[in-house]
Amino acid sequence: MANSTQRKAPAAQVDWLQPPPASTTAAGGLPKGQLLKWIGSKHRFAKAISQRFPSDIQRYWEPFVGSASVLAALAPQRATASDVLAPLVEFWQTVQSDPGLVERWYTERWAEVLGDPDAAHRVPQEVKVQGYLQVRSRYNAQPNPADLLFLLRASYGGVVRFNSSGGMNTPCGIHRPIPPLEFAHRLRQWRPRVLGTTFENSDFETTIDRATRGDLVYCDPPYSDSESTLYGAQGFQLARLMAAIERAKERRVRVALSIDGSKRSGAHQIALEIRPGLFETVAAVDVGRSMLRRFQLAGQTLESEVVADRLLLTWPEN
Ligand SMILES: C[S@@+](CC[C@H](N)C(=O)[O-])C[C@H]1O[C@@H](n2cnc3c(N)ncnc32)[C@H](O)[C@@H]1O
């Protein structure tokens, strides 16, 4: 686990032994704010995506869980979610088992980098950047969920980008990360929605291959052309995913696959790699701007970047 911090951290703000208010439980709607800031998050589309899922799901599987936005929108009772990024999976497991510890992780790092959340004066940007780089070096020396959480909230655009030797190299963002109290409130809202899920650190293929008839698998993969340095996804291959989806369909498992309409070259490549007939429905789920484009085009106009997100389903919709 990460080193302790030099500054004194503020006390915990939420009593985790008390049940959350009814309005924040699984039946109470999708939480407004994201718990993790995550490039490529489906947060804005999550409700629309989960509404396309059938109502008779035996078990829900999400093999590229990331910030768990679709999972949280669905709030399933029986589910398995996995990701190849081990500290991320450890984060979600600790949200379930020890939310007070997750709250402390964030509160301590916030104090380490930004000082007292109630102070009248904010630390200058260069001091913040210095603190951020210290947390990033510590994470790269020993990847861990506590530092990853803070880095994601403070990094430029929630980008999870790695260099060729596996080190996270996203620069510090110019924004002020959400204060510890706001984070604790979000954690309280999100936690009930993921309690029915088992989180695992595994490659997508292992997860998809375990789904059985009556189950639903939702895939939101990185796309190999444009996202090869994101999330440490260098090993991802679309053909391997398509083969796993074929096998799942043969077992009568329903599979939904998200394709971000902004990834134009990716969409072209995907079209070539998908066997005609594998997917029986193409649904446009929403419109919005792509964070990925925003990162690549930093400083340039976004007006032409309004895009649709598509969802491919292996079953026919009535
Ligand atoms: C586009 S993101 C998923 C975003 C998620 N739907 C959300 O709303 O936050 C893709 C995820 O796939 C994960 N990933 C990349 N390669 C993988 C692999 N081979 N097996 C499993 N997960 C992988 C990444 O770590 C990342 O979390």
Of 237, 204, 202, the C-alpha closest to 89 is: 202
Q: How far is the CA of 222 from the centre of ligand 1 (A)?
A: 6
Of 205, 292, 290, the C-alpha closest to 255 is: 205
pLDDT digits (tens, 9 = 90+) for 262-301: 444 444 555 557 888 999 998 877 644 444 444 444 444 4
Which mutation among 34, 49, 80, 83 tests ligand 1's pocket best, with the greatest number of atoms within 8 A of CB?
Answer: 83
Which mutation among 203, 230, 231 tests ligand 1's pocket best, with the greatest number of atoms within 8 A of CB?
Answer: 231
CB 287 within 8 A of CB 31: no
Prediction pTM value: 0.85
User: Where are the domains positioned within the chain?
Assistant: 33-313
Ligand 1 binding pocket (C-beta < 6 A) is 38, 40-42, 63-64, 66-67, 69-70, 83-85, 203-204, 220-222, 231, 233, 235-236
Q: How far is the CA of 9 from the centre of ligand 1 (A)?
A: 32
pLDDT digits (tens, 9 = 90+) for 130-159: 999 999 999 999 999 999 999 999 998 778
Find residue 83's DSSP bridge partners: 201
pLDDT digits (tens, 9 = 90+) for 26-78: 444 678 899 999 888 888 889 989 999 999 999 999 999 999 999 999 999 99
Q: How far is the CA of 97 from the centre of ligand 1 (A)?
A: 22
In this predicted structure, the answer to whether residue 229 has a pLDDT above a threshold of 80 is: no
**CATH number at 33-313:** 3.40.50.150
In this predicted structure, the answer to whether residue 225 has a pLDDT above a threshold of 50 is: no
Quote helix, strand, coil % in the chain, to nearest 5.
40, 15, 45
